[in-house]
Amino acid sequence: MVVINFMNVKLVKTFCSLILFIIALTALIVFLYESVSASTLELLRGEDYFDYHPMQFMVLLLLPVGVLVDIFFIGLLFPFRKKMVVVLERLMIPVTIYGIIAMALGFLISLVVSIYPLGTHYYKCNSTSVISSGSYYARTKEMCKERARLRALEWESSSTAGETHSAAAD
């Protein structure tokens, strides 16, 4: 067991930074998994209305790389760091190869999905951009109009509720 000398400020600072980085990376992995898997399942189930981002397949395929990088940084916290680093360095070559293949495969899957199911069976609802942000897709144009109307009503009701709340506070 490694005993940390709390008088060595540089070591304590490095240790705390590493723990914060691991927490942030793990939170990012969980967030990406939750958001990407939900929208991918909606697409695979053939839902009538869903959000699609062209990068979601690439992100889904790259999540195992993120998990292994997280494990690598967790391994740096243990006392047998030198042995662990050697083992993890050997694993980084296959992980890098998998990452490159996953990026290429995710790009190809995104192209195929954008051309075939989304281009032929769905109508693209109004969006700001194709590349920078995801778009909503629906089976019919009327569904898009209905969803836009419902969102406008929700926005209006939330803004009037805020005005009513602030007026009541006065």
Contacts of 158 (CB under 8 A, 6+ apart): none
In a domain, 38, yes or no: yes
In a domain, 26, yes or no: yes
In a domain, 166, yes or no: no
In a domain, 45, yes or no: yes
Query: What value does the CA radius of gyration of the chain take, rounded to a whole number of Å?
Result: 23
Note down the domain range covering 71. Answer: 9-122
In a domain, 48, yes or no: yes
In a domain, 116, yes or no: yes
In a domain, 2, yes or no: no
Would you write out the chain's pLDDT as a tens digit for each of its 170 residues? 556 566 788 888 888 999 999 999 999 999 999 999 999 999 989 899 888 888 899 999 999 999 998 988 888 787 777 777 788 888 889 999 999 999 999 999 999 998 888 888 888 887 665 555 678 889 988 998 888 888 888 888 887 765 655 555 55
In a domain, 3, yes or no: no
Total domain count, the chain: 1
Token digits of residue 55: 């990068």
As a whole number of angstroms, the distance between CA 128 and CA 133 comes to: 8
